Amino acid sequence: ISTVVVHFADPAGYPVSFAGLVRMNGQERQVINETDNHESQVYRAKIEPVTIDSFRLTVRASANPAYPNAAQISEIELYP
């Protein structure tokens, strides 16, 4: 993959801080480390191209103060 696109389901509670990790041959590597996101609907990231076994998105903080550690994701797209 070389592009990650994340669609957020709730524009009021989108992730402001999150990480994208890939697993390659049993090893994990962080490819996204966002700490100040202001995109409320879609986040796009170009990354160094990698061949992966899996992708994990971890939300660290949300824009919604009522649920500061949770956000709704509607879709994750991974492109070559």
Digit-coded pLDDT (tens) for 22-40: 999 999 999 999 999 999 9
Q: What is the DSSP letter of 49?
A: -
Q: Is the pLDDT of residue 74 over 90?
A: yes
Rounded distance between C-alpha atoms, residue 14 and residue 6, angstroms = 10
pTM exceeds cut of 0.85: yes
Only one residue has tokens 């903080």, namely 61
Cβ atoms within 10 Å of 10's Cβ, excluding its own: 17
- What's the CA angle centered on 39, arms 37 and 42, to 5 degrees? 120
